[in-house]
Every structure is written in C-alpha cells, then in structure tokens.
Structure 1
Amino acid sequence: MVKQERAARTRETLIRSAAEVFDREGYAAASLTGISSLAGVSNGALHFHFASKAALTDAVERAALRRLTEVAEVPVPSAGRVQSLIDVTHGLAAALRGDVVLRAGFGLCGEASRMPAADLRGWWQGWVEGTLKEAEAAGELHPGAAARDVVSAVVAATVGFEVLGTRDVEWLSAATLTRFWRLLLPSLVSSALLAELAPEGGAAAS
C-alpha cells in the first residue's frame, strides 16, 4: 500500500511538472529530462510511469479535463442557467490563473502536431451549447437571441481570453469577464431577467 501511494504521488508530481514545463516552454521544446529534473526523479523513474513524451502529454490533458469538468459542476443558481454560465466562466478564468495543469491542457489543444487525448476546448464548447439550450428551453433567453447564435460569441470570447491570458493575465481577470457579460447580457436576456443577474458572478450570483 505504501509503495502504491508513493507511486501515485510520483505520477501526480510528474504530471504537474510536465504541465509546468509545457506551460513555460511549449510542447515542442519540452524535454523529458527537464520534466524529470523538475519533478526530482530520475529519467528511469519517469519512464516507469510514462513510456514516452506522448503518454505523459496524454496524462496531462486527461488530468486537465477532469479539472475542467469540476469547474463546470456547480448547482444551477436560483437566477437560472444563464447565471450558471456566467458563474462557470468566472470559475474557469480563476482556475486558468491558478492551475497550471488546466492551463497546460488548454494550451496543448492548440498543438497542430498531435491529436489531443482530451479536447478541452471541444468539451467546453459542448458544455456551453448544452447550458444555453437549457436556458432557451427554460425561457431565459431574449426572444431574438437563439442559443445557437450565442454559443459562438461565448465560446470565442472565453477561449480567446484563455489564449490571450497566457501572455497577459489581465485577460483572465474577474474584471474582464464582468465587462464581457455586461456587454452581452442586454442582448441575451429580457430586461426583467437582466435585473436579477450578476455579471460579476461568484457570491453575488446567489
């Protein structure tokens, strides 16, 4: 049992170290030697857990997807599904600021040289689509705003913030997300619902 726990800790350390190297240097420039050195283990120990760079990269992406699904697993607030969408975008931005594994997972999705083991951007698009369809079915959207028309704006903006945030963390700030929602919401929901929503998300949404 002790050996199993130690092996699990080593594996998690390697995944985090790989994420840090991918985040800092990019996938192509990252080396297994650099990753094992950062993790404080030998190359042999790294290869015991991951047969190749591709296998380690796949593990980073899968770990990142698990974290993304956790960000999105929030109860629907009393204000409805649009508020849930607002809250989760704020949660995602905060997680991207502080979680290098999640950040690296999104970054790896942009690597044209490989097929991702877990497509975080694709999963995010699907979640946004599903949430907006639920909001539409619940009558939360403005009569002139169809869910399919709003998805592209929300996904493009949030993924854009994620990409730009790798260079300037201000793109992932609560203020940036709040300004985005203040701009979008009047065309997305009725004036009656607008008064109930909190574009700043978080505790203000409850």
Structure 2
Amino acid sequence: MTKQARSEHTRRLLLEAAAELLHQDGYAATSMVGISQAAGVTKGGLYFHFSSKDEICAEVQGAAVRVLHEHVRRQLVVPGPALRRLAELSRALMRWLDTDPKVGASFRMAREMGSADERFVVFSHAWLAQVRQYVADAQAGGELGTGVPPEAAELLVVVTCVGLEAVVSSRIVVPDTGLAATLAKLWQLIELADRSSRRPAARGVGD
C-alpha cells in the first residue's frame, strides 16, 4: 500500500468511526479521543487529518450529502412521476437512517445542534431542498390535487420523516420493523384516509 493509499485508508477509518459515534452517542458525547480509539488510530494520526471535531462533523455531513445526490442521480436515469420519486426519497432516507451512520449522524446533529449552529444542518437542508424540488415538479406536472398547497405537501413529508426519526431515536416508539417499513405503513394509512375522504357519502333512505 502506498503512502497516499494508507493516508486515505486512515482518513476513511476516522470518518467511519466518527459517524458511528455521532450517530449512536450524539455530538456532545463524542470526543476526538473517542474517535481515534474507535478507529484504531493514534491521536497524532487523527489530528494530522482533522484539526477539530467540527471539521470531522462537516466531513461526515458532506459524505451524507453525496449519498443523497447519488440517489437523486440514479432516479434521473429512469424518469418517473415526481410524487413517486418523492416517496422513494422518503423511503431511502429511512433506510439510510437504519443502515448508514453518516446520514444517521447528520440527522441527529441537526436535531440536537441545528438550532444553535447552522453548520449542523447541511445535510438536512440538502434533503429539504430536494423534497421541495420534487413537490414543485409534482405541481408543475399536475400530480398534486387541486386543493393541495405545495407547502402543505412539503410539511407532510418533512414532519412524517423527522417525527418518525425522532420518536424512534428517543425510544418513545420501538417499531417491529425498520424505519423504511414503518414509513411505508404510515403512507398506507394516509392514502387510505385520502381515498376515504374522496368517496361519496352514503345516502340515507329519506335523502
């Protein structure tokens, strides 16, 4: 392994360790010493690559944003209805929160630290921008109902995803299945309620 390859490998180990710790323990409980120990890298090796915890957090969020952009790029290869792409993005987010510590760490940092510092909402803002784009595409394509304001559609997606992540992370609710499957069940309920609201009311005998 060349010196450059070793350096890249070490940096990757540090980022993976940081993402795992930030996802599991949160920003405040994650330390530079803990990251170096989890990665199996000396403290000097850690500071060679990253000067501070905030620099690592920024790198973790950047990696999470790349996961998001790669998903969107793949969606563009096979164009489909905007609302379908929005639903797929929501399910993908839930899968990432279950399986990708970079995304999980980014979401948790936004929840815990975003109100104090905008540096911690980089991934969340990128995800929200994509949600808004898909809703705008759906409106332009006539996919939204005539009485559905775009901002209400955006809010429904955001509140559902953010709320589900928050209640599961805080263990208020412990789903039997993963976040993606739980989100799918919620969307089924929403779709059933929507169809029921559109169904004509039953007429009485005297009507």
Task: Report the TM-score when normalising by structure 2.
Answer: 0.81
**2:50: which partner in 1?**
50
Q: Deviations over 1:148-184 (max 9, x none)?
A: 2211111111111222332456385333222222233
Which shifted more, 95-104 or 62-71? 62-71
Are residue 32 (structure 1) and residue 38 (structure 2) matched?
A: no
Change (3 A) 1:183 1:147: farther
**2:189: which partner in 1?**
183
Greater C-alpha radius of gyration? 2
Moved over 6 A (4+): none
Q: How far is 1:95 from its partner?
A: 1.3
Q: The residue matched to 2:169 in structure 1 has which SS?
A: coil
**2:21: which partner in 1?**
21
Are residue 11 (structure 1) and residue 11 (structure 2) matched?
A: yes
Are residue 126 (structure 1) and residue 163 (structure 2) matched?
A: no
Task: Report the TM-score when normalising by structure 1.
Answer: 0.81
Q: Deviations over 1:43-69 (max 9, x none)?
A: 000000001112112111211221222
**1:195: which partner in 2?**
none
- In structure 1, stretches of 5+ residues that fail to align are 192-206
Match runs of 1:1-206 below 5 Å:
2-75=2-75, 80-110=81-111, 111=113, 112-116=115-119, 119-168=122-171, 170=175, 172-185=178-191, 187=194
Structure 1 Cα separation of the partners of residues 97 and 116 of structure 2 = 23
What value does the CA root-mean-square deviation take over the aligned residues?
2.4
Say if 1:14 and 1:39, in contact at 8 Å, map to a contact too. yes
Say if 1:14 and 1:36, in contact at 8 Å, map to a contact too. yes
Identity %: 32
Number of residue pairs matched by the alignment: 189
Structure 2 Cα separation of the partners of residues 41 and 65 of structure 1 = 26
Say if 2:97 and 2:179, in contact at 8 Å, map to a contact too. no
Structure 2 Cα separation of the partners of residues 97 and 16 of structure 1 = 15
- In structure 2, stretches of 5+ residues that fail to align are 199-207
Change (3 A) 1:70 1:165: farther
Structure 1 Cα separation of the partners of residues 163 and 61 of structure 2 = 19
Say if 2:106 and 2:124, in contact at 8 Å, map to a contact too. no
Structure 1 Cα separation of the partners of residues 56 and 94 of structure 2 = 25
